[in-house]
Amino acid sequence: MNTLVKNLLIEQTKEKIQKPDCATRAGRSLLAFYLQTKFKQIINHDKKSDKQLIIDYKKDFLDNFTNRLINKPKDKILIALTGESASGKSTICTQITECIKTLNLPITILAADNYFKDISRLIKEYGSFDLLRDAGYDVDSPSNFDLDLLKRDILKLQKGFDIKSPEYLVNGEGKSVPESIEYQSNKIIIVEGMCSIYDKVENIFDIKVYIDLDEKERKRRFIDRAKSRNQDKNNALKHWEYIQEAGRKYVAVNKNKCDIIINGECNLKYFSHMIEYINLITNNFCED
């Protein structure tokens, strides 16, 4: 975001408005109207950017989300963040984490990939993860995630309870360690991973975000990532073929279910500015 646009966004939110009484439906309705107006301003300013963050969004998204805020004000806000492999999910979450630290944001990011089921016994049986994959085992299939546990944990966070999620070890052993990572319940819960919009969990989210990136760039990122992990290039290309097919079957087909589609090539500095602005407008209320 260039300096002129950023300053304009900030100037437009300097004037404080009287904080509505969120204990009343009328107060929440006023807040919802304000947020709708500001979201439309974000869309309009984003269109002026050299590389837009928001590619598309559902026309009924704003009404559905603000109605949820009006009707269930005490529930935490649940956001699914999904996309095909190497689309930028982890990179964007890293950037959000930096913003959380800088702005002290009430956000929890839950890594859904940790809900892969333990396949260590199968890997030992076949000799390696690669041999298991080559034998036709479909690792990214919805049946290979503990979606029931994921749903239970998300709903606990939504109701204000802290959780301990499993940890799936990415060392090729396929082992899952139960109740291993602590997560605190915050006002906003982001669940990041391909399975966050699989059938068993998709309907619990208030906002579903899809990160879109063209296949050529995703492949380049995937191969570069394999190199940084000292993975054999031929094996990396073979695995790319698998995840490309799995992505089409299990992730890309859910794109039309998502409320917002964002650009995986968006400049991260600009992305941070947008988060700062959203934080600014959602905290732009003062007491009497």
Q: Which DSSP string corresponds to 191-260?
A: EESGGGGSTTTGGG-SEEEEEE--HHHHHHHHHHHHHHTT--HHHHHHHHHHHHHHHHHHTGGGGGG-SE
Per-residue pLDDT 10s for the chain (288 aa) are: 445 445 545 455 544 455 667 778 888 888 788 888 888 888 988 998 888 999 999 999 989 988 888 888 888 999 999 999 999 999 999 999 999 999 899 999 999 999 999 999 999 999 999 899 999 999 999 999 999 999 999 999 999 999 999 999 988 899 999 999 999 999 999 999 999 999 999 999 999 999 999 999 999 999 988 877 777 888 889 999 999 999 999 999 999 999 999 999 998 889 988 888 777 766 654 444
pLDDT score, position 25: 82
Report the pLDDT value the prediction gives residue 234, as an integer from 0 to 100.
87
Query: Which pLDDT belongs to residue 286?
Result: 42
pLDDT for 85: 93
What is the value of pTM for the model shown?
0.88
Phi, psi of 246 (to 5 degrees): -65, -40
Rounded Cα distance between 270 and 5, Å, is: 11
